[in-house]
Structure 1
């Protein structure tokens, strides 16, 4: 070990027991605590059978497989000595009292629903690790000053529905949205045991939560590429979705000379290339994707008269999202003039970036160092429940590597060692946050 690495490691080992003494006044911990990794990974292996189909994991919200997954999770709460309660939104919660009842709880957790034909790690890793952390603290007789609350949010993949309700951001229109199971959110809340008429009872306000920490698979390949074991999430990117309608003039493909056409498809293609070039031209982590294209009349021998396409724009800086929005609009005007077509922008989604709390990033880094784990700071390019909780409380996230950078796929995989590492960082970050958070 190099001298600098030794000094950093020794400093981290010295710092973490201080937090442990504050959390566990009955006896200071001389080294970082660890979870039962075999138990945690055993739960995940068992869970893989629920919703497993030939095309991947299908535990979409409010489906029979989702209900089976929630039943399995409920059993894990019981096995771990945690008293489960269901809030009116259908979120699963359990609280471990702290030594100071006046303190707001530290919240940890994730979700267990999946996308269509997804994998077994997106969500369950963080949910089951949170249960394991609470169980490990009890088994090792460590009691925090803050209460510790474990949460499993409902319908994260359908738009962070459970956490949106918890922070008071769900709209009446959201209740009528149809989940991948074919059920509306309104119907689904009733199916999982919630009560739509009493959703306000599930809402939390600023001050109700001391801090939120979520463990998750990275869903990208940055950690693997850098050979790092832990990602310290700086924030969750904001995103802006557009539906753009390009209007030209449908005409005969054989009888219309090339210089007389108003080809909407040509304009859309030029726009797609130009968006990609604009994003790549500027240094940074911004991304933009043209993801869906519908062509009318979509016939072999007719010049396309209309194209509807979508753009997904994401970055950790709101000012950059705003600036690229203006850039795309200017590109559309120029291409429209060149091709004699028109572009109409309709904004579908607009979420602002959610930045991680500096104190929580600090305790995550401190915990990784104390455990001898390599780490790096990084943004989250995907959305998470943490971005909703950030509206009312300090939040942070811990990433572990996804093999091949694959997620939302049957090939999604994270190694058992990496999952255990992440849970150990979560455990010690909770202990340190107990001292760091007010």
Structure 2
């Protein structure tokens, strides 16, 4: 369909991977860091070089735009997020951005300017890796972030969210920016981050829904004491309490079964030394399901169980819900368009839900939205080993371009 080559796609991926590159081939590019800002500025230059007008919004979302010739006020948007997890891979987030501008570049070369405006977006943040706040970039598109929500947030070094933002040259205003009303559709291309497509030998996954997600930060407080002189019956061991909570909650999750998933992630025992009973444990819990009622029932039950365990062991517990996103359905017309596009290219595809959170779930609450996946080798993601075959990356870009053509070039 287009002149784009696998070599060009690989070159673009490697060009962006230099920003925040880690020694083992991964990327650490956290919101508002020097690496993040350099990557956004590099992208801005790249977008300008293919004839796009560019701009940053107040929080650092970057846009590249080709104005429509007949319906300039109607915008077709595509892209993803520029930030990464700590030591993540080269595709999560940034491939969706690269794919969007490559697809649009090929469309413009082949068909000339579109009837409706085409716009690439590189969202400032999605992962929540530096500060405990997810989807900051996409939420700001629609004025869905209030200043007080980030006022007390700090990173692991004690830098406040607002200080980091200001240092990078951005600032969230006291009154939220007005929600955009010109976006007619949003399409996000992403690696699957799972093994379904690879296992079933499908090239394209078309997302029908994104799971709901509840993320907690939890602190257990017991009593630090000498490991040798404190009898077992006298202990208020926060680490043992955590272990009990982890085992019992995981067993309940397995009993309920798919598509529910439960993960205990970051675990920080204090004082975290060999000869002291752990007096405090900070940990996270992540729970996801495609049905909102089931997700709410299960997490409510687990919260009660954690409190009972803490009480029985003589500990205090503080449970903070930091992310509470309901399951989101993709737009039926956009889903059908992606199906049609894959069929036109004779690519094997399947409908599926996304078990990972994406910016699309925020945007879908405001405008017609859909996602497409390409396979992840071994299902590996958030890892330097993250990879997708170049032929599958190309297929994803071609499918995206085919759908964008229908949206932006057809009356």
The TM-score, its normalising length taken from structure 2, stands at 0.86
Deviations 1:238-258 (A, max 9, x none): 221223344556666556665
Mark the structure with the bigger radius of gyration. 1
* CA apart distance, 1:317: 1.8
Secondary structure of the structure 1 residue equivalent to 2:378: helix
**What is the distance in 1 between the residues matched to 2:316 and 2:14?**
53
Secondary structure of the structure 2 residue equivalent to 1:210: strand
Structure 1 residue 322 corresponds to structure 2 residue 291: no
CA RMSD for the aligned pairs? 3.0
**What is the distance in 1 between the residues matched to 2:183 and 2:386?**
32
Secondary structure of the structure 1 residue equivalent to 2:71: coil
**What is the distance in 1 between the residues matched to 2:275 and 2:33?**
43
* Gap runs ≥5 in structure 1: 1-32
Written as runs of structure 1 = structure 2, the 5 A alignment for 1:170-319 is: 170-172=145-147, 173-174=149-150, 177-178=153-154, 184-197=160-173, 200-201=176-177, 203-205=178-180, 207-246=181-220, 263-296=237-270, 298=272, 300=274, 303-319=277-293
- Between the two proteins, the alignment pairs up a number of residues equal to 403
CA, structure 1 residues 71+312, in 2 after alignment: closer, same or farther (shift >3 Å)?
A: same
* CA apart distance, 1:300: 4.6
Written as runs of structure 1 = structure 2, the 5 A alignment for 1:24-423 is: 33-34=1-2, 36-38=4-6, 39-55=8-24, 56-101=26-71, 104-141=74-111, 144-158=114-128, 159-172=134-147, 173-174=149-150, 177-178=153-154, 184-197=160-173, 200-201=176-177, 203-205=178-180, 207-246=181-220, 263-296=237-270, 298=272, 300=274, 303-332=277-306, 335=309, 339=313, 343-423=317-397
**What is the distance in 2 between the residues matched to 1:105 and 1:412?**
32
**What is the distance in 2 between the residues matched to 1:132 and 1:90?**
21
For structure 1, which segment, 349-358 or 367-376, has the greater mean C-alpha deviation from structure 2 after superposition?
A: 349-358
2:44·2:64 contact (CA, 8 Å) conserved in 1?
A: no
Deviations 1:42-100 (A, max 9, x none): 22233333332314323333233223222321222122111212222322212223344
**What is the distance in 2 between the residues matched to 1:181 and 1:60?**
13
* CA apart distance, 1:330: 4.1
CA, structure 1 residues 428+332, in 2 after alignment: closer, same or farther (shift >3 Å)?
A: same
Secondary structure of the structure 2 residue equivalent to 1:275: helix
* Gap runs ≥5 in structure 2: 129-133
* CA apart distance, 1:333: 5.4
* CA apart distance, 1:273: 1.0
CA, structure 1 residues 66+268, in 2 after alignment: closer, same or farther (shift >3 Å)?
A: closer
